[in-house]
Amino acid sequence: LRGGIIVTNRIEEKRKERAMTQQQMAAALGVSRQTIISLESGKYNPSLILAHAIAQLFETNIEDLFIFGEEAK
């Protein structure tokens, strides 16, 4: 896999659509609230398993939740 790929996500947007708190989302996924904060701010990219769990929680698919873009050269 070549570098230079930026991953952004719509987790915060989806969470707010469902009027969920970060704490509630963390409890539903079995992770810490800090993980949700890091995911939303884009500091941490989740594993495929966690990404799948988030997509299931928001009743959507991974492609809709995570946006893959190329870094500007």
Q: Which residues would be at the binding site for another protein (CB under 8 A)?
A: 23, 26-27, 30-35, 38, 44, 46-47, 49-50
CB of 18 to another protein, least distance (A): 20
- Sorted by sequence, the CB contacts under 8 Å of residue 5 that are 6+ apart come out as 68, 69, 70, 71
Nearest distance in Å: CB 15, another protein: 17
In terms of CB distance, is 54 or 58 closer to another protein? 54
Please give the Cα distance from 54 to 1 (Å, whole number): 24
Nearer Cβ to another protein, position 33 or 72? Answer: 33
Instruction: Round to whole Å and give the CA distance between 41 and 39.
Output: 5
